[in-house]
Structure 1
Amino acid sequence: MVLITSVSRRLRTPLFLLISLFITVLTFAQVNLTYRLLNGYTLSSEASVNKNKPTVFVLGETEAFEKVFNPAVTTKRPDALNFTKETAIGIVLPPTTKPPKLSISKVFVQDSVLTVRYIRLADTTLTQHPQSIATQPFLLIAVPKHNFLKTKLVENGKVVQILKRPEED
């Protein structure tokens, strides 16, 4: 009995440190999310976007999604979303006459913060007839539902917006 008490006293501090280290690693763990690009949608004219900087939309319900994005008038059907399993993330850039090339580089959750990293490249192609009508470029992706408190939008390595999840009643 004395031997068990002596061993348990000696192991108490290292065991506590080992458990603390394990919890710390779990807390700071980064979970990469799979995503898929959604095609066949246009931005609604009623969507509220920032004038001079990118805007991020986190849409977890059909009604909210339909207020911001509409099906495009094309022969192809828009990609379907399952809001019981997925959340839609929309990134809308300010209007421009030279639409940039956009691509998602990484989507992950860390410390209850969803981070969407994307790359924006200026379109350097020369055209005979420059576009005179400004278009509003956007990216629309679907990610698996996940609990997160904030959404961080990172463009070319620079944080451009942090959106807090709205309070639920």
Structure 2
Amino acid sequence: MNNAFLFDCAVKLCCSDHVSGFISAKPVIDTREKLTEQRLNYVYQLVHKVKEKLLSETQGETEEKVIYCFKKAIELTCSDISCGVIAVEPILYDRNDKICETIEFYFNLTLAMTSSLQVSPALPANIQSSSINNSSDSKSAGDYKTIVVPVYQKMKKAKLKKGKR
């Protein structure tokens, strides 16, 4: 896994932070661009640490299978962030630790399922060249795209007192 692949994973996670409302559309303290930049840097480091840990645990697996399962784990984690399973303001856990745990959980789940279901992670040639070998970013009609659909949005409602409607 090269830096371009990890950066792509970090961007997907950051996009989910936008959808979930973790990075506010209209922040009070700083600009959205600055908050996005800071979060993207942090998430990149987070993904890099998780990658190193998972690579050390799965030394017997092929690189293609590890990349495939890691990509699927990122996609599943993004959906958990987007729909609110990983809360915007958690009380009982640290959000960033939960993201790491979720990536690891989904990686192990997909790794086990690809073995039991005999899934062959044959990546299309255009994805292999752009994400693994860090070649040119040629976009064709067959490229896969991840679309994050907003299904959860944190909304604060004013509390109405009885009799004052």
TM-score normalized by structure 2? 0.26
TM-score normalized by structure 1? 0.26
Greater helix proportion: 2
Looking at CA atoms only, which structure, 1 or 2, has the larger radius of gyration? 1
Higher relative contact order, structure no. (Cα contacts within 8 Å, ≥ 6 residues apart): 2
